[in-house]
């Protein structure tokens, strides 16, 4: 995740700037797409964090 974080943030930031400057044809649709991208990225991050916690817990149980 950390490998793509800056790229995702760049895309979202740039997209928001284009909407703000009215340089897109469908600003509402672009905002919705950017919101969806951000939500998916955050959800993926949460899933990875949870999987890591579960793995760490399983390793601790195995080593006991």
Q: Which two tokens stand for residue 27?
A: 């600003």
User: Is the separation of the CB atoms in 31 and 19 below 8 Å?
Assistant: yes
CA distances to 42, 52, 57 from 32, rounded to whole Å, are: 15, 30, 37
| 1-31 confidence digits (pLDDT tens) | 889 999 999 999 999 999 999 999 999 999 9
Please say if the pLDDT value at position 63 is more than 90.
Answer: no
Question: Whole-prediction pTM value?
Answer: 0.82
Residue 64 — very low, low, confident or very high, per pLDDT cuts 50/70/90?
confident
């Amino acid at each position: 995740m950390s490998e793509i974080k800056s790229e995702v943030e760049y895309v979202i930031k740039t997209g928001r700037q284009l909407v703000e400057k009215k340089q897109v044809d469908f600003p509402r649709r672009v905002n919705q797409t950017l919101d969806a991208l951000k939500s998916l990225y955050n959800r993926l991050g949460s899933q990875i964090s949870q999987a890591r916690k579960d793995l760490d817990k399983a390793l601790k149980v195995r080593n006991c």
